[in-house]
Structure 1
Amino acid sequence: PADTLRQRPDVRSAERALAAATARIGVAQAQLYPSLGISGNIGTTSNSFKDLFSLVTGGVFANVAQVIFDGGRLASQVRSQRAATDAAFAAYKQAVLSALEDVENAMASLSSARARKAEFATAYEASNNAAILARSQYQAGLIDFQTLSQSENSLLNARNSLAGAQSDEVLGLAQLYNALGGGWQNMENRPND
């Protein structure tokens, strides 16, 4: 289920934001430690072009820098990044909860649409049988045209209700597909994100 919800763009975006915020904590903590720098140069001295590489000089320099007093600025940056990570984690949890709510609502909608479709299918079947019976009774002269018309109208209403229930089922299925993130691909064939 978690991998399925991870396909949703909002969940994926919140997950990436949380990972970035977590990485920024490491960057802020790294600034608390001494930094090491290495630099160098290389050169040559010559009076003519043919003696250009006869004397090559160079040098390598290293330096170590450490902040001694910054008034707590670096430590407060670490705390700030931790707070930003907490906020990103809360946003991620909210995105997951929202995704779960969408899935739950879509599943409930699909379930009720399928139940309505089954009921309207039964009503359509009954109306169809009643219309067939009314047609045969009308041909036999047992009922008048108005009764036949009412039976045909009832059949038409049942057919329309069944079509509406079928469209609600398809809409519920599309909502569920959308809530789950849609666009499933084989995980081995997916490009890296």
Structure 2
Amino acid sequence: QKRSFEITERLYSSGSNSELDVQQAKTQYLSTLSAIPQLEITLTQVRHALDALLGRPPGDLPELADRYGRLPNIDSAAMDSIPASLLLRRPDIRVAAWQVAAQSAQIGLAEADFYPSISLLGTIGWSGSSLNGSPDVGTLGLGPALSWNVFAYGRITNNVRVQDARLQQLIEGYQQSVLQAAREIDDAMVSIVKTDEQRQILGESVKASRRSLELANSRYREGYADFQRVLDAQRASATQDERNLVNQGSHVSAVIALYKALGGGWSDTPVEQWVPGDVRETMQQRTDWGELLTAPLPEGSASTESPPTTKASMHE
């Protein structure tokens, strides 16, 4: 657009075209130029957001020093081989599963009230007298105690029912969490595939619009077309370039959405790669973590079926 503006100025100075062409070219050029500051503001804000996520003060990002770096992508073959067990890395599914297990144990504890409770009681005492010659006396008492809520059968039964209803509620929540995760994964996969298809079409569209602009400029310089054809070609080319960039952003967003939906990527990754070495060392010095900071992620498969539950034994 800047080049077109300069050409129209020279042609106007030589008397080959009217001032209208100059003003139209100037309007088009300045309109595009005025959009750059807002884009720079957005870019700076995004960089600062990345700094905050990385735990850094606002500043330059060495990772983004290469402005022509490759955009994140995922091979379609990798999407076909994603194991369902990766869903277990999602915090929401883990929380839901542990809540079900904990509530299942509460049913066992409630049922334990149906049975008698036996406890062992003991006392130890020591007494002495201030009289000379009086011996000190020690006492020891030991015996069992039996308690049984014989007359609270109805209350205990209702409590068991309440705990079971809460368990069913949590099971439904767990199943919903798994279904929601599956939906997010499928949505992201579809977006990745479709934006990639759109990218190929837009690539051809961008080439065609740029070629059209070249022809319009050439015909205008040769006097076979008015400047309106050039303006139309510039707008069409800018529109296709913008659509292509929006598509690239949508594709990257879909890849990121899939990464998040799977709880951190589409491949099993050791814990060591998630927790930096210096952070692991600090945590180990502060608390005994055992092998939890180095052990692999738990194996298993996520499904919409109820997670395994175990009732607490009445003997516990």
> Normalising TM by the smaller chain, what interval?
0.7 to 0.9
Separation (CA, whole Å) in 1 of partners of 2:100 and 2:112: 19
Which residue is 1:36 aligned to? 118
Which residue is 2:184 aligned to? 102
Aligned counterparts, 1:65-84, within 5 A: 65-84=147-166
Which residue is 1:161 aligned to? 243
- Per the alignment, in what secondary structure is the counterpart of residue 70 of structure 1? helix
**Deviation (angstroms), 1:58:** 1.9
* Backbone CA RMSD of aligned residues: 3.1
- Per the alignment, in what secondary structure is the counterpart of residue 69 of structure 1? helix
- Per the alignment, in what secondary structure is the counterpart of residue 181 of structure 1? coil
Separation (CA, whole Å) in 1 of partners of 2:219 and 2:164: 81
Instruction: State how many pairs are aligned.
Output: 188
Q: 1:14 aligns with which of 90, 96, 101?
A: 96
Separation (CA, whole Å) in 1 of partners of 2:233 and 2:149: 91
Task: Extract unaligned runs of 5+ from structure 1.
Answer: 49-53
**Deviation (angstroms), 1:101:** 1.3
TM (norm. structure 1) is 0.79
Q: C-alpha deviations, 1:96-123, integer Å up to 9, x for none? A: 1122112212222222222222211221
Separation (CA, whole Å) in 1 of partners of 2:84 and 2:163: 27
Percent identical across equivalent pairs?
31
Task: Extract unaligned runs of 5+ from structure 2.
Answer: 1-82, 131-135, 276-291, 296-316
**Greater displacement, 130-139 / 161-170:** 130-139
- Per the alignment, in what secondary structure is the counterpart of residue 194 of structure 2? helix
Separation (CA, whole Å) in 2 of partners of 1:93 and 1:166: 34
- The 8 Å contact of residues 134 and 143 in structure 1, kept in 2 or not, is answered as no
Which residue is 1:177 aligned to? 259
Separation (CA, whole Å) in 2 of partners of 1:127 and 1:92: 51
Separation (CA, whole Å) in 1 of partners of 2:211 and 2:166: 67
**Deviation (angstroms), 1:22:** 0.3
Q: C-alpha deviations, 1:72-93, integer Å up to 9, x for none? A: 3223322332222122212211
Separation (CA, whole Å) in 1 of partners of 2:255 and 2:183: 16
Change (3 A) 1:47 1:3: farther
- Per the alignment, in what secondary structure is the counterpart of residue 149 of structure 2? coil
Separation (CA, whole Å) in 2 of partners of 1:16 and 1:176: 24
**Deviation (angstroms), 1:136:** 5.0
- The 8 Å contact of residues 127 and 154 in structure 1, kept in 2 or not, is answered as yes
- The 8 Å contact of residues 114 and 153 in structure 2, kept in 1 or not, is answered as no
- Per the alignment, in what secondary structure is the counterpart of residue 173 of structure 1? helix
Which residue is 2:208 aligned to? 126
- Per the alignment, in what secondary structure is the counterpart of residue 72 of structure 1? helix
Which residue is 2:314 aligned to? none
Separation (CA, whole Å) in 1 of partners of 2:224 and 2:89: 61
Separation (CA, whole Å) in 2 of partners of 1:113 and 1:5: 24
TM (norm. structure 2) is 0.51
- The 8 Å contact of residues 5 and 180 in structure 1, kept in 2 or not, is answered as yes
Separation (CA, whole Å) in 1 of partners of 2:224 and 2:233: 11
Separation (CA, whole Å) in 2 of partners of 1:46 and 1:55: 6
Separation (CA, whole Å) in 1 of partners of 2:269 and 2:122: 51
Q: 1:87 aligns with which of 142, 155, 169?
A: 169
- The 8 Å contact of residues 117 and 165 in structure 1, kept in 2 or not, is answered as yes
Q: Which runs of 4+ in 1 moved over 6 A?
A: none
**Greater displacement, 111-120 / 25-34:** 111-120
Q: C-alpha deviations, 1:102-153, integer Å up to 9, x for none? A: 22122222222222222112211222333345445555x2743443443333
- The 8 Å contact of residues 43 and 56 in structure 1, kept in 2 or not, is answered as yes
Q: Which amino acid aligns with 1:86?
A: Q
Separation (CA, whole Å) in 1 of partners of 2:230 and 2:145: 101
Separation (CA, whole Å) in 2 of partners of 1:11 and 1:55: 62
Which residue is 2:270 aligned to? 186
